[in-house]
Homo-oligomer: A and B are copies of this chain.
């Protein structure tokens, strides 16, 4: 016999586990038909739905020594909410496919569900988990599909930036990248295996960076603000400002010239899921200028007019070894 919070997924069985997950998500559904039938039914005012999928896999995307169940639920929600915001849309529902090793503790799964719910409540009020799927797997995997609506505006794509537009950011760029560096540099043993974080040896600034990595806070509500404010292009910064600005530049056929003020973590780090937007007129509240769109030159992205060299962004596949925690 285990204590209640050490019960494993394998011991509990799918039906009882689902009940625990529903309990942890309780009361948050605004669907016409929520979890429990073959599918959910969602209201789609305006008749257009925005849908995106993003997955967190144990190993390439997270380590259990560093992330709690709550952290993982939060992050899985946050990165998907950011994708919906990055279209200028308002997220309304998440669908979560959880693949769980039998030895996973039920408490961990409940915390994961609580993290999903709390991220929705704090980052995208009105959005909730409306369905999902539990499967057994040797690899802990959290696949989230996010669903949103356009509140009377057109979707804002990556391809609409034009020379003369101001390039703007909402949200932070840098802390999450400093956080992952901190984990790799300070919380691995001699063999490179992740070890639990000891908050006591961190400064307040380091703790903030760590939280930004483990529980990112993308400015989800500012996606709709950008659309209403006339954004010509919009995306979220997930793989680093330089790399994502390159994607926007290529999609729009322009060059993004960034101001030469950002530090290296800000230019090359991703995972804060800031919103990168272009505006031909004044910036709406929450956005700050970080550069301008110019006619397409040799480089897709320049900083202070100079081409950028070296590794552009964070590679989640880098350094992963199945034997690590």
Interface, chain A (partner B; CB < 8 A): 14, 32-33, 37-61, 83-84, 86-87, 89, 93, 95-97, 99, 130-133, 135-139, 141, 143, 145-148, 150, 155, 157-159, 234-236, 251, 316-317, 320, 322
**A316 / chain B contacts, CB cutoff of 8 Å:** 136
Pick from A42, A99, A145 the residue with the most CB of B within 10 Å.
A145
Question: How distant is A60 from chain B, measured CB to nearest CB, in Å?
Answer: 4
- Given B49, B60, B87, which contacts A37 in the complex, CB threshold below 8 Å? B87
Q: A93's closest neighbor in chain B, by CB?
A: B51
Q: How far is the CA of A48 from the CA of B84 in the complex (A)?
A: 18
Given the known interface contacts A32-B48, A43-B47, the answer about A54 and B133 at a Cβ–Cβ threshold of 8 Å is yes
Given the known interface contacts A47-B44, A49-B49, the answer about A86 and B39 at a Cβ–Cβ threshold of 8 Å is yes
Inter-chain contact B137/A39, CB cutoff 8 Å: no
* 5 more CB-based (< 8 A) A-B contacts, given A38-B52, A38-B158: A33-B87, A41-B48, A42-B50, A55-B135, A59-B138
Given the known interface contacts A48-B43, A87-B41, the answer about A97 and B99 at a Cβ–Cβ threshold of 8 Å is no
A-side interface mostly: strand
Question: How distant is A22 from chain B, measured CB to nearest CB, in Å?
Answer: 15
Inter-chain contact B53/A95, CB cutoff 8 Å: yes
- Given B46, B58, B99, which contacts A55 in the complex, CB threshold below 8 Å? B99
Q: A137's closest neighbor in chain B, by CB?
A: B57
- Given B42, B150, B251, which contacts A49 in the complex, CB threshold below 8 Å? B42
Q: How far is the CA of A150 from the CA of B43 in the complex (A)?
A: 11
Inter-chain contact A148/B39, CB cutoff 8 Å: yes
Top 4 closest pairs, chain A to chain B, by CB = A39-B52, A139-B139, A143-B143, A145-B145
Question: How distant is A89 from chain B, measured CB to nearest CB, in Å?
Answer: 7
**A43 / chain B contacts, CB cutoff of 8 Å:** 47-48
Q: A317's closest neighbor in chain B, by CB?
A: B136
Pick from A33, A48, A53 the residue with the most CB of B within 10 Å.
A53
Q: A134's closest neighbor in chain B, by CB?
A: B55
Pick from A51, A147, A317 the residue with the most CB of B within 10 Å.
A51
Inter-chain contact A57/B136, CB cutoff 8 Å: yes
Inter-chain contact B47/A47, CB cutoff 8 Å: yes
Q: A133's closest neighbor in chain B, by CB?
A: B53
Q: How far is the CA of A38 from the CA of B130 in the complex (A)?
A: 21
Q: How far is the CA of A133 from the CA of B51 in the complex (A)?
A: 12
Q: How far is the CA of A130 from the CA of B52 in the complex (A)?
A: 9
Q: How far is the CA of A228 from the CA of B131 in the complex (A)?
A: 25
**A60 / chain B contacts, CB cutoff of 8 Å:** 135-137
Question: How distant is A133 from chain B, measured CB to nearest CB, in Å?
Answer: 5
**A159 / chain B contacts, CB cutoff of 8 Å:** 37
**A87 / chain B contacts, CB cutoff of 8 Å:** 33, 37-39, 41
Given the known interface contacts A133-B53, A137-B139, A139-B137, the answer about A44 and B44 at a Cβ–Cβ threshold of 8 Å is yes
